[in-house]
Structures are given as structure tokens and as C-alpha cells.
Amino acid sequence: MTFTRIIATLAALVGAALIGGVAGGVVATKGDDDTPAAAPATTVTVPTQGITASGGTSLAALYRRISPSVVEIQVRNTTGGGGTGTGWLYDDAGHIVTNEHVVENASDVTVKFADGTEADARVVGVDTSTDVAVLALSNPSSAPAPLQLGSTDALAVGDAVVAIGSPFGLEGTMTSGIVSAKDRTITAPDGFTIDGAVQTDAALNPGNSGGPLLDTRGRIVGVNAQIASENGGNNGVGYAIPVETVKSVADQLIEGGKVEHAYLGVRVADGNGGALVDSVSPGSPAAKAGLKAGDLVTRADGEAVHAADQLSGAVASHRPGEQLRLQVTRNGRTTTVTATLGERPSEAP
């Protein structure tokens, strides 16, 4: 059974559902199988003839080149349930990237390639704060070529993008759309925020989780993770974790099996010329540094802060134990505080 769960985004204040995999939550989709009974073995949705990608390459040709490196992930978990999601080849060592919520509590993981062959995989590591997981194939020598990484910096609103995945267990499905917005903020499975998400109208549904969002040169710009939905279905608002975040986390997981995130301990919103502190967690690094609700953070380590996500980015660029110097406006006066960052707790306060 594939599950989705409804969570709120800070940016749009709408429901965002994790799309596929074992996400154990409040909305259950489909019946007792991972794949609907009437589903064909492979369904490919491609744009109408004549639509081309960059350089004159058709999207059909792009699909033929990319799809062998995209896999369906089949999971059995420790509670006896299961689900499906999507992943893609990350490197020549046979590592596969997907969403954390796809392989949550996994006891057995099988990946299915575009040619129908299957292989066992193990979970190398997961990070609930970014919803990223890395798997390793048991026989990497037979794996297809890894996909090329792109950049969200090079994206503009209106640029064409495509998604490949296994919505509702229909492996090998391709959909297309545009970049609807950039720098969205979505909520991770542990309740913390993921900044810089790419919003797209390319159709995403349960089972697309962990699959690639690609530009028209076939470069990954994000990992599909959530949809804004009240019922778990596609409404044309999907979110992908930015490729820069995915690469940073995946490299750390491959190297050491875990990721350490710096923690300040504040909830912030966009303020007039800075990041407005809404609340401070008791005992947190922010509390110990003297930050208070109502403070307006205008600089972090000397760099201007104009919005809440810039402060989040400044914290994310540090490691636990490092210091973060903040310029704060309080009651019309400017002061500077220095916080020694802690390690992010397992769940957001």
C-alpha cells in the first residue's frame, strides 16, 4: 500500500503531500497492492510529436537517453507493509538517490530498471531534514550510467522541465511542464524546512517521489518530493528538492552514513528588511545567545539578511559547534549577538 501524508508549507500555507513510498500518514491511496491491478507493465507519456528540448533534441529522444537510469523502488518495511517510489543513478559506484520517505523503515528494497530487470539494494543512509536517501546496488557493475547534475541557479520561471517516475506504480512514466516558481519553502518529514525548492506544474502523483526533475538537456535540477493537494492527487503544483541540497546531502551520506545539521532554535518569518524572530525555543543556541521574539535579524556573519530563508541558509552553511554572528534590531536599537550552533534535534520543536 502506498501512503501519503499531508503537511503544510510555510511559503504557501497550503497542504503538501509527500508523493509516494512508505510515508505512513493520514491519507492512504489505492488498495492492497503496490500497483493497481489494471495497470500495464510500462506506460510512457510523452509530449506530442514535434516538441523539442534544447538544441533541437526531441523530448522523446531525451526520454530514451535518460529513462534507463531511472528506477522504480519497491519497499517492504519493518511493519509488514510496503510501497513504491522512484530513484535514479547518482554515480558510477551504483548509488541511487531517492526520498527518505520512500524508504522509511525499510527492511527490504528492490529496484526495477527500465528493461524490467530487478536488483537488490541496501539503504546507505537517510536524512529526514532534507527528505533525501541514498541506496547502494548489490551489483553496481551492471548499473546504467549515472545522470548528470544541473543547477537551479540556471533555471528561470517558465523554463521547460520533465519528470520521470512511477506514479501509481506505472513505471517509466514521463510528464512535462515548466518551472512555475523558484525558492519555495517546503516542510521536511521531521518538521524542519527545506529551502530553495523548485515548483513545477509537471504532473506528479504518488509514486513519483524520489524521481528526477530534469531540464531539457537531461540534467537533474531537483528531486520530486511533494505536491500541494487536499486529497493526495495532482493539482498542478509540485515541489522538487533543489539539486544543490541533494548533492550536498547525498555526498555526506555516502561518505559517513549521516548528515549533521546546524541548529539555531528560532522560528522566523519575513520581516521589514530582515528575518523576524517569531519564537525562540527554550534552551536553544538562540536562547543562550539572547535572541528574543520580535527581534529583526538583518545580518548574519556580515552578510545582509532580507528574508527568513536567508537566515535559514546562513545557519545551514555552518556545522554544529560553529559560531554564527547576528546583527539584530530590537526596540529601534541595533545590537550584535553570537550564537554557538547546536545539532538539529530529530524533530522540529
Give residue 182's pLDDT.
Answer: 96
- Closest C-alpha to 290, from 230, 232, 343, 338: 338
Among 229, 256, 283, give the residue marking a domain's end. 256
The domain boundary, picked from 256, 288, 316, lies at: 256
* Same domain for 217 and 306: no
**Is the pLDDT reported for residue 311 higher than 70?**
yes
pLDDT at 38 over 60: no
The predicted pLDDT at position 55 comes to 53
* Number of other residues whose CB lies within 10 A of the CB of residue 243: 27
- Of 232 and 332, which is predicted with more confidence? 332
Please answer whether residues 222 and 152 qualify as being in contact, where contact means their C-beta atoms are separated by less than 8 angstroms.
Answer: yes
Q: Tell me: do 247 and 277 sit in the same domain.
A: no
Q: Quick check: is 74 in a domain?
A: yes
Please state, rounded to an integer, the average pLDDT across all residues of the chain: 85
Residue 124 reports pLDDT greater than 80: yes
Contact indicator for 197, 222 with CB cutoff of 8 Å? yes
My answer on whether 311 and 180 are in the same domain is no
Same-domain status, 234 and 283: no
pLDDT given at position 79: 84
pLDDT for residue 129 is more than 60 = yes
Q: What is the rounded CA–CA span in Å between residue 152 and residue 240?
A: 11
**Rounded CA gap, 307 and 298, in Å?**
9
Task: Take residue 169 and report the three cell numbers written for it.
Answer: 506504480
Per the CB < 8 A criterion, the answer to whether 161 and 213 are in contact is yes
Residue 345: Cβ within 10 Å count: 15
* pLDDT band, very low/low/confident/very high, at 19 (cuts 50, 70, 90): confident
Residues 47 and 184 in one domain: yes
The span from the CA of 286 to the CA of 39, in Å, is 52
88 contacts 211 by C-beta, under 8 angstroms: yes
Q: What is the mean pLDDT of residues 266-276?
A: 92
Q: Which three cell numbers stand for residue 1?
A: 500500500
Instruction: Give the mean model confidence (pLDDT) for residues 265-293.
Output: 94
Query: Are 259 and 246 within 8 A, CB to CB?
Result: no
Cell of 103: 524508504
348 inside domain: no
- Domain end, chosen from 256, 289, 311, is at 256
Instruction: Looking at the structure, tell me whether residues 215 and 276 fall in a common domain.
Output: no
With respect to residue 329, please indicate whether it lies within any of the assigned structural domains: yes
Asked if residues 164 and 211 have their Cβ atoms less than 8 Å apart, the reply is: yes
Examine residue 172 and state whether it is found in any structural domain, yes or no.
yes
Q: Note whether 208 and 274 are same-domain residues.
A: no
Q: Could you tell me the residue range of the domain that residue 270 belongs to? A: 262-343
The CATH number of whichever domain residue 117 belongs to comes to: 2.40.10.120
Give pLDDT, residue 280: 95
Beta bridge partners of 123: 135
pLDDT at 12 exceeding the cut of 50: no
Tell me the percentage of the chain whose pLDDT exceeds 70.
Answer: 84
The residue ranking higher by pLDDT, 33 or 274, is: 274
**pLDDT at position 349, please?**
79
Whether residues 291 and 239 fall in one domain: no
Each residue of 182-224: pLDDT tens digit? 999 999 999 999 999 999 999 999 999 999 999 999 999 999 9
Beta strand 238-242 pairing with 220-228 = antiparallel
Residue 39's pLDDT is: 36
- Decide if 349 is inside a domain: no
- pLDDT at site 57: 67
**All cell numbers assigned to 11:** 511559503
The domain tally of the chain equals 2
Residue 39 lies in a domain: yes
Q: What distance in Å separates the CA atoms of residue 166 and residue 211, rounded to the nearest whole number?
A: 8
Give me the CATH number covering residue 290: 2.30.42.10
Hey, CA dihedral for 109, 113, 119, 123, is it positive or negative? negative
Q: How crowded is residue 145: how many other Cβ atoms within 10 Å of its Cβ?
A: 12
CB atoms within 10 A of CB 239: 30
Domain identity same for 212 and 276:
no
How many Å apart are CA 241 and CA 169, to the nearest integer? 22
- Whether residues 198 and 69 fall in one domain: yes
**Residue 205 near residue 167, CB atoms below 8 Å:** yes
pLDDT of residue 74 exceeding 80, the answer is yes
Same domain assignment for residues 45 and 186: yes
C-alpha 272/C-alpha 259 separation (Å) is 33
Three cell numbers, residue 163:
519528470
Q: For residue 277, is pLDDT > 60? A: yes
Please check whether residue 158 lies inside any domain of the structure.
yes
In this prediction, residue 82 carries a pLDDT of 86
Range in 26-30, 143-147, 232-236, 240-244 with the lowest mean pLDDT:
26-30
- For residue 16, what pLDDT band results from cuts at 50, 70 and 90? low
For residue 134, being part of any structural domain is answered with: yes
What pLDDT, in 10s, does the model give residues 137-191?
Answer: 988 988 999 999 999 999 999 999 999 999 999 999 999 999 999 999 999 999 9
Alpha helices in 67-106 (DSSP H): none
Given pLDDT bands bounded at 50, 70 and 90, which one contains residue 80? confident
Q: Do 154 and 25 reside in the same domain of the chain? A: yes
Single-letter code of the amino acid located at 206: P
Please tell me the predicted confidence (pLDDT) of residue 40: 35
Beta strand 173-187 with 193-200 is antiparallel
Q: Catalytic residue positions?
A: 101, 131, 209
% of the chain surpassing 90 pLDDT: 72
